[in-house]
């Protein structure tokens, strides 16, 4: 069953990755180096162009000092005013 209003998992991961990286004050270069991935690959992940493997999710989560699930959590819906 598919929910049209839900974000694609790549989009969820991309948004969380960008937010968490910015929160930690890391550049893409810094995060890519620490996670042992290329900067261009990390950039594509942040754009939602690629799915990340569980291994990559784990590496990135470790560098960002969060649980891997934090990268996959869908954003909370905002209430309409």
Instruction: Please determine, for residue 5, whether its predicted confidence score (pLDDT) is greater than 90.
Output: no
**Domains of the chain, earliest start first:** 9-70 (1.10.260.40)
The dihedral sign for the CA sequence 77, 8, 71, 15:
negative
What pLDDT is stored for residue 79 in this prediction? 58
**17 with 45: CB under 8 angstroms?**
yes
Percent over 70 (pLDDT), the chain: 85
Rounded-to-integer distance, Cα 74 and Cα 3, Å? 13
pTM here is: 0.83
What pLDDT is stored for residue 80 in this prediction? 60
Q: What is the pLDDT of residues 8-44, one digit of tens each?
A: 899 999 999 999 999 999 999 999 999 999 999 999 9
């Amino acid at each position: 069953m598919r929910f049209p209003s839900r974000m694609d998992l790549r989009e969820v991961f991309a948004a969380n990755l960008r937010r968490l990286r910015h929160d930690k004050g890391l550049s893409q270069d810094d995060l890519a180096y620490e996670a042992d991935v290329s900067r261009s690959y990390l950039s594509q992940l942040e754009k939602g162009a690629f799915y990340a493997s569980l291994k990559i999710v784990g590496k990135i989560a470790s560098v960002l000092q969060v649980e891997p699930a934090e990268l996959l959590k869908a954003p909370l819906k905002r209430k309409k005013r």
